[in-house]
Amino acid sequence: MTRGVQDDLRAWLAANAPTGTLAFADRVAWHRKLFDAGLIGLTWPIEFGGQEREPASQAHLLSELALIDAPAFVNQAGLEIAGPSIMQFGTPEQQARYLRPILTGEELWCQLYSEPEAGSDLASLRCRAQRDGDDFIVSGQKVWTSEAGWSDYGVLLARTDPDAPKHKGISCFILDMRSSGVEIRPLTQITGSEHFSEVFLTDVRVPAINLIGPLNAGWSVAMSALAFERAGNSLARIVRYQTAWRKLCRVAGQIAFEGRPLIEHASMREKLGLAWAEIETQRLTALRLLEMLDAKEELGSLPSMHKLSYSEFERRFADLAQELLGPWGLLAEGYEYADLMVGTSSGEPGAWPHEAMWARAVTIFAGTSEIQRNIIADRELALPREPRI
Amino acid sequence: MSTGFRLTSEQSMLREALRELCATESTAAHVLEVWQEQRPFDEGLWQALATNGWLGLCSDEAYGGAGMGIVELSLLAEELGRTAAAAPVLPSLIAGLVLRESGATSELSASIVDGSTRIALGLSRDGLDFRAPLLERAGGRLNGQAAFVAWAETAHQCLLPMDGETLVCVPRNLFSTRPRETMDLGLPLADVLLHEADERGLMCLNFSRTRLFDLSAVAAAAEMLGSMQRCLELSLDYARVRKQFGRAIGTFQSVRHMCADMATEIENTKSVVRAAASALSEASTSAYAHYAKLQANRAARIVWTNALQVHAGIGFTWEHELHLHIKRLMSLQGLFGTQAGLSDEVFRFARSA
């Protein structure tokens, strides 16, 4: 991003970005404002309503939002999974029908991949889709579906050929979340909020024209969208660590311990200094990846290494805040120091204990740390494979 | 500003040539021989580097040098690190860069280029504090010391900070040394002691002490990067051939994951070392140098621990190459900035930024 573009963006954000905790409807309104300002779909092709800018442009926009602790846009599953899948594999009719409302936020999407028995081993998913005339009849159970309750559509992975090898019998569908037979049960998560749900599908009719890509090619459709999720999304997350680091320092400057501010204790400074250097190291790897993306270079397993690295760091950093703040780090609300409120990795504001809990999610979602290490060992290091069961 | 993540084709060629040279002149067997025979340093490698012009990498072209900077120097450090090279190359090359950047017109540059003069760098009074003064000047005499100086005994000159903006070049006859015994026989350390040294006629250079430290820290981090890459290669080779329970140990997830963690920290180190070298080629000093050394220190602990664990018993033997790297990584971790010192500097910088 050039300096001039960055200055314009910062000025616009300063005038328009909302502050504080937003209700979901307000976050959708904020999304619309971003869209109207031409800030949604920066990397999408012009023919699909985007601006066809380089991959890094989106990462830089998100990091500008992170810098001022502004809410990110909504419809992440639409913009990062459904949209790219439909652009790459969808029919012209699907592209004409679904892409624009994804950008505007008028239609919200969720991702229906994981199942109770298919987490890290996603390809073993059991949700069935059987052909019936012009439709498929879908039955099964999905889980960890973020924003399911708000969503109009879901990107669904279901088994269409139970006799084929597990990666080759899966298809990808557009599911109307208001179809008869779709039941959503919110899950209360460790933080106490209801961010994700279980989704039960019982004899749901899905028109065959809702198939994304060829029949039984759902695995490659799903995997191609994951590439960007690992490579392009980290910069803003890392900038949020920097924002949190500064807040941690400010609050540690206000809390007294042994007659002087906590921040003046040598042990505190060493740990915070180390954490800052680690954040900068993560940020530099993020920039390196974006530079490679822009140059259309082969990324290899670097996205997996990066995801492994920053997610493990996020957890250590949240633990560090707990260690340094002691009892103050326990307060979920009702605190006298404003900086005990941090923007959590969920994009919703919260307090340090929320941050400590949320930091546990990032080493699990989008491929656990263990799955990333497997990918690195297989693809980057070319170690002999584990015996497969 | 260039990010430095991607090498230019010239830089890639330079690295290839170095790798080739080190692969023949600095093999593990060769380095082990230097250790075994307790030679002061690897003269064969030194000569080969001199003959091929590498010792003049950063020196002024007027004196036969190649006029390159810290980016190329850090690539050379990386390649030397890969072979755990046992030669006093980096301090002399940094000195060559210092002489060129400070505009010194001295035959010293030419003698660095042809390999006839070796220079050591005295950066700290105690090995930990890189800001406190090392020397006292009184009545035309210099007194003081630099601790844990790499390659001091075989050096012909030692470059020391007189104050924040001036370096003084002291010839070998004006300082004595106190050797420090360590386990890394390929990177000898000694304290440099000045007692009533006559400062008349000594060459002084107008050069920031902070920059000298940053350059040294990045060179050390780059050498560590190369050494870590070699640790990973050795571990992967071993994990592919060593069989237990009827299969290669590289098929066991516990072993695979240790290797994946090594690779991840090596890539992070590469990001920050490249960025730091690039930053220092455009600015006098950079916080990136501190980040690079801190990351290299952190990564090194993970890499040497995991590499030794993958190799198990065989890695615990003198014959195997691995210990050369483990000891080199330990040495460099303790030199040119430690966790306690650097993290406090980083903290103050980040707070004020």
User: For residue B300, what are its two tokens?
Assistant: 């090194």
The DSSP bridge partners found for residue A111 are A155
pLDDT of the residue at A267: 87
* Alpha carbon of B245: minimum distance to chain A alpha carbons (Å): 13
Residue B139 has pLDDT above 80, yes or no: yes
Strand pairing class (A109-112; A153-159): parallel
What's the pLDDT band for B1 if we cut at 50, 70, 90? Answer: low
pLDDT of the residue at A191: 82
To the query of whether residue A229 is one of the catalytic residues in this protein, the response is yes
pLDDT of the residue at B271: 98
Whether domain A109-218 has CATH 2.60.40.1220: the reply is no
ipTM of the predicted structure? 0.94
Give the residue from A371, A376, A378 with the most B CB atoms within 10 Å of its CB, the best one to mutate.
Answer: A376
Residues 6+ apart with CB under 8 A from B334: B127, B148
Strand pairing class (B166-171; B157-161): antiparallel
Domain ranges of chain A: 3-104, 109-218, 231-380
Q: What gap in Å lies between CA A83 and CA A223, rounded to an integer?
A: 14
A364 φ, ψ to 5°?
A: -110, -45
Residue B320 has pLDDT above 90, yes or no: yes
Task: Give first-to-last CA distance, chain A, whole Å.
Answer: 47
Residues 6+ apart with CB under 8 A from B33: none
Q: Which residues of A touch B242 (CB under 8 A)?
A: none
Strands (E), chain A: 109-112, 128-132, 135-146, 153-159, 170-176, 182-187, 196-207, 211-212, 256-257, 260-261, 341-343, 349-351
Query: Mean of the pLDDT values across residues A244-248?
Result: 92
pLDDT of the residue at A332: 80
Q: At the topology level of CATH, where does A3-104 sit?
A: Butyryl-Coa Dehydrogenase, subunit A; domain 1 (1.10.540)
Residue A327 has pLDDT above 70, yes or no: yes
Query: Mean of the pLDDT values across residues A315-341?
Result: 84
- Lowest mean pLDDT across A320-329, B80-89, B301-310: A320-329
Query: Mean of the pLDDT values across residues A213-222?
Result: 95
Query: Mean of the pLDDT values across residues A152-172?
Result: 97
Residue A345 has pLDDT above 60, yes or no: no
Query: Mean of the pLDDT values across residues B178-189?
Result: 96
What's the pLDDT band for A33 if we cut at 50, 70, 90? Answer: very high
Residue A336 has pLDDT above 80, yes or no: no
Q: What gap in Å lies between CA A82 and CA A14, rounded to an integer?
A: 31
Provide the 3-class DSSP secondary structure of residue B246. Answer: coil
Mind listing the pLDDT tens digit for each residue in B260-287? 999 999 999 999 999 999 999 999 999 9
Domains A3-104 and A231-380 share a fold: no
Q: What is the largest CA-CA distance in chain A?
A: 77
B105 or A174, which is more confident?
A174
Residue A227 has pLDDT above 90, yes or no: no
Q: At the topology level of CATH, where does A231-380 sit?
A: Butyryl-CoA Dehydrogenase, subunit A; domain 3 (1.20.140)
Sheet containing strand B157-161, edge to edge, reads B119-121, B157-161, B166-171, B203-206
The DSSP bridge partners found for residue A172 are A157, A212
Residue A92 has pLDDT above 90, yes or no: yes
Give the residue from A289, A383, A385 with the most B CB atoms within 10 Å of its CB, the best one to mutate.
Answer: A383
Residue B134 has pLDDT above 90, yes or no: yes
CB B79 within 8 A of CB B15: yes
Query: Mean of the pLDDT values across residues A96-110?
Result: 97
Residues 6+ apart with CB under 8 A from B255: A383, B239, B249, B310
Within 125-184 of A, beta carbons closer than 8 Å to B belong to none
B336 φ, ψ to 5°?
A: 55, 40
What's this model's pTM, rounded to 2 decimal places?
0.94
Residue A346 has pLDDT above 60, yes or no: no
pLDDT of the residue at B67: 96
Residue A344 has pLDDT above 60, yes or no: no
Residue B342, number of CB atoms within 10 A of its CB: 24
Instruction: Tell me the average pLDDT of chain A.
Output: 90
Catalytic residue among A64, A80, A229, A348: A229
Contact A308 B346 (CB under 8 A): no
* Alpha carbon of A160: minimum distance to chain B alpha carbons (Å): 32
Q: What percent of chain A has pLDDT over 90?
A: 62
* Alpha carbon of B346: minimum distance to chain A alpha carbons (Å): 5
